[in-house]
Amino acid sequence: MAVSHLLARRSLLARAAFALPLVALTLAGCGTGAKNDTYDLSAAMADGAGPAAKRSQILVPEPTALQALNSEQIVVRVSPSEIQYLARSQWSDKLPRMVQSKLVEAYENSGKLGGVGKPGQGLAIDYQVVTDIRAFEIDSSKGSQAVVEISAKIINDRNGTVRAQKVFRAAVPAGGGAADGMVKALDRSFSAVTTQIVDWTLQSI
């Protein structure tokens, strides 16, 4: 009886070990056998519709994000509760690092701040712009839209109080074509959200 129970348990473990790689393969969009196309995001040329804040310096920490977005994979939402990844496609870096870098560039492009930096650069900071990536995906469950949603808080670095907070969202048609078109649609949505964040920051500090 003991030997039979042990063999049955080994068989069950073997089946479980075999199932896990299949789940990973499905989420990866079956694109593991070919070289992935790699994409970057554009830095918004924000004109800074808000007033100049030349005496203020801001810090842009790396955004937070759920694990599904905290990677190089490009998310495709197929239902409200199910996501996949765009096959044979990837971002050039982890998404939160890319968003951080492009936000910094957009603030600099506005030309209306005394300084903009990332943690560790030694700037004397007046405000932090803390962000969370809530959505950055192709939503095929609602007619194929490129959706970007980012929440932002402006925190007074001197006393830790929240100066302002807001959620920014943009959605543009992504079409049903090639991956290149879908990524370009995501880039347009991100550019719109970035411009909104920069203008809102200038009006709030």
User: pLDDT of 47-60, one tens digit each?
Assistant: 656 677 888 999 99
Contact 83, 75 (CB under 8 A): yes
What residue type is assigned to position 172 of the chain?
A: V
Segments in the chain below pLDDT 50: 1-33
- The token pair at 21 is 């790689």
Instruction: Give residue 43's pLDDT.
Output: 80
Q: Give the CA angle between residues 178, 184, 187 to the nearest 5°.
A: 145
- Residue 87 DSSP SS3: coil
- Residue 58 DSSP SS3: strand
Measured in degrees and rounded to the nearest 5, phi and psi for residue 81 equal -120, 10
Contact 72, 132 (CB under 8 A): no
Going from the C-alpha of 92 to that of each of 33, 39, 69, 188, the distances in angstroms are 18, 6, 14, 17
**Residues 6 or more apart from 39 whose CB is under 8 A from it?**
74, 89, 90, 91, 92, 183
Instruction: Give residue 29's pLDDT.
Output: 43
Of 94, 196, 111, nearest in space to 148 by CA: 196
Instruction: Give residue 197's pLDDT.
Output: 96
Of 65, 63, 132, nearest in space to 97 by CA: 63
197, containing H or E segment: helix 179-204
Instruction: Give residue 48's pLDDT.
Output: 57
Of 135, 130, 132, 136, nearest in space to 118 by CA: 130
Find out if CATH 3.40.50.10610 is the number for domain 35-204: yes
pTM: 0.80
